[in-house]
Amino acid sequence: MKCEQARGMMHAILDGSHSDAEINAYRHHLCECEQCRCEDQRWRSLITEIEALPLWKEPASLLPAVMNSLSTETQEEESKIGPVLLFGFFAFLVYHLLSSLKTLSANAGGDIELFHNPVFMYLAWIIVGLAFSAGLIYFLMRKKAHVKFL
Amino acid sequence: MVIRNRLLFDEVKHLPLIETETELIKRASEGNPEAFEVLVQRYQKYVYNLALSVIGNRDEAFDAAQETFIRAWRSLKDFRGDARFSTWIYRIAYRVSLTVVARKRPLPIDDLPEPICEDASANPEEAAENDYRQALLRRAIMNLAPAYRTALILYHLEDLSYEEIASITGVPIGTVRTHLHRGRNYLKREIVRLSGGDENEM
């Protein structure tokens, strides 16, 4: 092995990413070449020095800051469920109000044409159903896995 | 091969391991903040160090580490366990840190973080010399291009393999190897430049 070859594979040897045969050839060259031996030693010292560097200590406030942010985020998510349920409740009330009006109107002998319109009644049911389903699904999924879709 | 004694989970071993990591991740992904808190405790040091290595500024590294954990919390349900949790969270930290770097001005030399001396040697002269060498080395590392610096720190300080670094940074393994080898070469030159010495005396 020549010096050029040895220098070329020095980093890979230091990282342990060469075959045993190549490592042996490299070692054999180092025994014969003082310059390469010194170079190898310098790299090993540098790497040892790098690896001896202590990691920076994380600030003590990092964990509380993360948990605070999560808590705020969870509260924000929870606050979204209020309007959904309120909307569902409102839709429910509207439907019952309309039903009551229809009953009252029928009892009074009057007639409100709108209530006889099947398209209107069908749409009313759809709106009420959707509002409730959305509220319920959101509530259940949020409980399960913090899903945000609103 | 140089013995690398700073294993990623060395300090984790000293924490109370009431639950395995898989259980913790499962509970955290179901929305349990206590389980997630344990995970944050375990990884905050490494995430913070990665962010600091990429960004080079303590305050911004703090924000990046915080953002990393918030993103991890939001997307924990997507973690399928194909990679190690550490690799997954490192990947998030790396992306967050890159975003910070992309929008900031170049780092002035005075903003570089000071080294933290963890072991006070009995001999003050030795300690001073050691502090000087460490400060010099850190400064030289921080002067490297971000790609070289990150490869170097992840490999030597955070003890990750070529494969893990490639997965985190999104570059091929060959590129990681090149970054690491070039990084070392530049580091050596940078140390010589900063200390005003001869390369052969290092």
Q: How far is A42 from chain B (nearest CA, A)?
A: 7
How far apart, in whole angstroms, are the C-alpha atoms of residue A59 and residue B45? 9
Mean pLDDT, residues B92-105 = 84
Q: Which two tokens stand for residue B176?
A: 């990681």
Q: How far apart are CA B32 and CA A70, in angstroms?
A: 11
Residue recorded with tokens 């606050």: A79
Residue with tokens 């997954």: B88
B197 has pLDDT over 80: no
C-alpha angle with apex B23: B19 to B25, nearest 5 degrees?
Answer: 115
Q: What is the mean pLDDT of residues B109-137?
A: 64
pLDDT digits (tens, 9 = 90+) for A13-59: 888 777 788 888 888 888 888 888 888 888 888 888 888 888 888 88
Q: Which of B3, B89, B144, B157 to mutate to test the interface with A (most CBs of A within 10 A)?
A: B157
Report CB contact under 8 Å: A146, B141.
no
The residue extents of the domains of chain B are 14-105, 122-196
What residue type is assigned to position A50 of the chain?
Answer: I
Note the CATH number of domain B14-105. Answer: 1.10.1740.10
pLDDT attached to residue B79: 83
Q: Which residues of B touch A73 (CB under 8 A)?
A: 70, 73
CATH code of the domain occupying B122-196? 1.10.10.10
> B100 to chain A nearest CA, in Å?
18
User: Where exactly are the structural domains of chain A?
Assistant: 3-52, 70-145
